Chain A
């Protein structure tokens, strides 16, 4: 950063905002990659579609039109209608909300738990770290979807419960990454020096370790969102996702696939493409960041 190295640091007017914008510019410059922008653009488009879309196209996603069953896309129904005569475009927007909410908020929960667990393991004494890592091995051996299926009959299946359950089941992989990264950074000279000066464990974890890991965490967050959307669509296919009449892209795709023999392609193509785009957007975004991170 362009702050003067004089011993007495006098506050310069606007210094802090300048540091902020400078580091932001630095960040953007450092991580700018065509793939990053493509992924980000796609994802923002899907977010706008789901949240701004309903404002521009205020049609009920649940309203049933008994004489407009399975209509192909037209001016009246841009994405067609389903087998109950519901407006597919409205349902897609509604489903996008649910799908992206689960992906993003679930990822927030998973990131939080994963960072917490990984950090605790890295900062605790060796024996405790060992026990925590074995516990992690055990948890990693139970894929999120498997546990999700286990819980499916117990819990009510709605957006909130899916966010909580998917979030709470998806963190072990990240926890291991965080723990390994933290251990690597823990041995760096500047961290050792900070410890010599009496910095507390919490301070070191927060200021030195987490900040150093930030780029890796961001990359993993993007993959996490992609994985959660993929997991949610998988659960929807198993009938364990967001329950009808509420829509999610996975659920819509599943409904469309049930009717695939009759051949209403619009019931498959639109939700299928939407899921695919959401996952691709996040994966591409993450790969772009990763490419820069690895210095390519």
Chain B
């Protein structure tokens, strides 16, 4: 039962991944003049373009190019960045790591506060505290991410100087040992910037969830047994309300990336989103398409992981 479910889920994700790679392939070919122009620039001579096309196999029919594209992907060859003068794949490592750590940190912060706020909101739903929290969520959700970022810099970095206004700690470029403390010190403000809108959305969802759980009969039964409120909240309501959370977090991954791109741009934080932005301004198409592909793949895998975790958790309750 469980094995079949996992197999089915893997199959759908594989199909989505194949389609994703195909989409990105066509995206690259949709760039004006084709990949060669975007690599060499708009003013390249036709001879140079022809030479590059031959070198990259772009003079073959489209279906062969498609096959070559797949072949390169399996070899881990994501193209060569002419602006950074390095293979794209080797470029991405540290950016990817920086981003993943930042996003995971932000997501953990968001989950923690969402659960806390959501439980409170669920308990107080329809009364003044619940309504106030609801209003706060809509307000925070409606502030553009970059605005939050700039305001945090203004206050915490410039006015009170508790945190650095941007960049990354630990001086990785010099090749020295990573200074963990400084690394995370630089990460605090970006993480809060990503986490704030995330918390607004997630806590709203979780608040709804907790509210509907609080209305169920089993809560009344627990009260009738004399179970104290805190124990009801943690042992009874939370346990049920938290179930769909994993799936929802999976669904929020694209949103995390969007917030991440803007946040990394505000803080000049060398992550995937910042690299995407930089490559876009420099028209570095191999890097751009590689990042787009990577974000897509990470999103699909993240969704897959969320779904699998959830079905395993669910099955444990249902079939154990």
A–B in direct contact per CB < 8 Å: yes
Residues in chain A within 8 A of chain B (CB atoms): 131, 134-135, 137-147, 149-150, 152-154, 226, 230-231, 233-234, 237-240, 250, 253-254, 257, 260-261, 272, 275-276, 279-280, 283-284, 287
Complex Cα distance, B245 from A121, in Å, reads: 27
8 more A-B residue pairs beyond the given contacts A143-B255, A150-B288, A152-B280, with a C-beta to C-beta distance below 8 A: A140-B299, A142-B295, A146-B257, A146-B276, A149-B261, A150-B289, A276-B143, A276-B144
Per the bound structure, the CA–CA distance linking A144 and B19 in Å amounts to 17
* Least CB distance, A153 to chain B, in whole angstroms: 5
Partner of A141 from B138, B289, B300 at Cβ < 8 Å = B300
Query: Restricting to B252-276, which residues have a CB under 8 Å from any CB of A?
Result: 254-255, 257-258, 261-262, 265-266, 276
Interface of chain A, helix or strand or loop or mixed?
helix
The 8 closest A-B pairs by CB, nearest first: A141-B299, A279-B142, A137-B16, A138-B20, A138-B19, A141-B296, A143-B254, A237-B146
A253 with B147: CB separation less than 8 A? yes
Does the CB pair A141–B262 fall under 8 Å? Answer: no
Contact call B295/A141, Cβ cutoff below 8 A:
yes
Tell me whether B188 is interfacial, beta carbon within 8 Å: no
Q: Are B258 and A146 in contact, with the CB atoms below 8 A?
A: yes
For the complex, count residues of B whose C-beta is within 8 A of A: 47
**What residues make up the interface of B, taking CB atoms closer than 8 Å to A?**
12-13, 15-17, 19-20, 22-23, 27, 31-32, 138-139, 141-147, 150, 154, 158, 254-255, 257-258, 261-262, 265-266, 276-277, 280-281, 283, 288-289, 291-292, 295-297, 299-300, 303
Give how many A-B residue pairs fall within 8 Å (CB-CB): 124
Q: A279 to nearest B CB, angstroms?
A: 4
Interface contact B12-A137, CB-CB below 8 Å: yes
How far does the alpha carbon of A144 sit from the alpha carbon of B292 in the complex, in Å?
A: 11
20 contacts between A and B (CB under 8 A): A131-B15, A137-B19, A137-B303, A138-B22, A139-B23, A142-B20, A142-B23, A142-B254, A143-B295, A145-B258, A150-B288, A152-B280, A234-B145, A238-B262, A238-B280, A239-B281, A240-B280, A257-B150, A276-B144, A280-B142
